[in-house]
């Protein structure tokens, strides 16, 4: 199974016009610094990552929403200050939403059992997962708009803030937002975290200092994480092999004789004439 398509909207440097990129089982993404490569990977993490820090990051901060999208939204709100009739205005104000969508293809039989509720086209060969950060259903948009209108009108009258700068004083209602992760095309089809945990994503930090970061002498070193990525699945098999090998060594008389001879000679040259034999 692999991600065959990725779409991003309003996440950090990705704007209101949806960005879509086709992907293959092995894809190299090349670009200059600060162009958004890390943001692209982190957007996938909003759906698939099981890192404990990512659970918190799924509740986005204001800075995670595209700057130009927020600015456009605030200007729409600020333009209401000099309007008398606000009837139906909440339908005209476009509250920003952050959306990340991935399409999965080439599933084997075991993987089909996981993605079975996420298909979105008649052939049942493609599954879709979507992360959506949006205003929560109970958010009273009209009340919020009226509060902002009154505040801006007061600033304009009492502090003589220029009309063209009023948008800078619009609050963004980030506390009224929530996120959902759903499968297929139906936002009501929320993904079970149990199945999401089966789609493991490993994101490695950028390699900037090869000499320092490839030293596998710590849990957080890059090389350690690369070599250790299949630890959970391989541990049982490796442990069984080592146990069998240890039994073979114990039962091999020739190896035991070599061990006894080495112990004897090491005991003779030892500066500490202990009664006990050396433990090899």
What pLDDT sits at residue 171? 96
Q: What is the pLDDT of residues 193-208, one digit of tens each?
A: 999 989 888 887 767 7
Both ends of the chain: CA-CA distance in Å?
Answer: 47
Locate 274 and state its tokens.
């202990």
Q: How far apart are CA 111 and CA 106, in angstroms?
A: 9
Place of tokens 């990525």: 229
What pLDDT sits at residue 83? 84
What pLDDT sits at residue 180? 98
What pLDDT sits at residue 245? 82
Question: For residue 4, what are the contacts with CB-CB under 8 A and spacing of at least 6?
Answer: 22, 23, 24, 103, 104, 105, 106, 126
What pLDDT sits at residue 215? 63
CB-CB contact of 172 with 61 (8 Å): no
Report the predicted TM-score, pTM, of the whole model to 2 decimal places: 0.76
Helices 253-269 and 231-251 sit at what angle, rounded to 10 degrees?
A: 80
Low-confidence ranges of the chain (pLDDT < 70): 206, 210-211, 213-237, 239, 269-280
């Amino acid at each position: 199974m692999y991600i065959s398509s990725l779409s991003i909207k309003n996440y950090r440097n990705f704007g209101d016009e949806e960005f879509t990129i086709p992907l293959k089982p092995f894809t190299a993404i090349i670009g200059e610094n600060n162009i958004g490569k890390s943001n692209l990977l982190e957007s996938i993490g909003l759906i698939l990552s099981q890192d404990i820090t990512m659970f918190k990051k799924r509740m986005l901060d204001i800075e995670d929403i595209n700057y130009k999208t927020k600015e456009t939204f605030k200007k729409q709100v600020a333009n209401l200050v000099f309007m008398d009739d606000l009837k139906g205005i909440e339908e005209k104000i476009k509250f920003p939403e952050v959306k990340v969508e991935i399409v999965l293809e080439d599933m084997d039989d075991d993987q089909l059992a996981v993605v079975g509720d996420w298909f979105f086209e008649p052939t049942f060969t493609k599954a879709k997962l979507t992360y959506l950060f949006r205003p929560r259903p109970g958010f009273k948009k009209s009340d919020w708009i009226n509060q902002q209108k009154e505040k801006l009108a007061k600033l304009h009258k009492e502090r003589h803030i220029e009309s063209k700068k009023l948008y800078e004083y619009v609050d963004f209602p980030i506390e009224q937002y929530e996120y959902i992760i759903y499968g297929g095309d139906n936002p009501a089809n929320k993904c079970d975290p149990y199945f999401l945990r089966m789609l493991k994503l490993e994101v490695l930090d950028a390699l900037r200092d090869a000499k320092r970061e490839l030293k596998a002498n710590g849990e957080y070193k890059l090389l350690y994480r690369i070599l250790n990525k299949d630890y959970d699945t391989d541990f049982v098999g490796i442990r069984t092999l080592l146990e069998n090998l240890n039994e073979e060594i114990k039962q091999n008389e020739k190896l035991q004789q070599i061990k006894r001879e080495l112990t004897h000679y090491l005991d003779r040259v030892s500066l500490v004439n202990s009664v006990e034999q050396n433990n090899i």
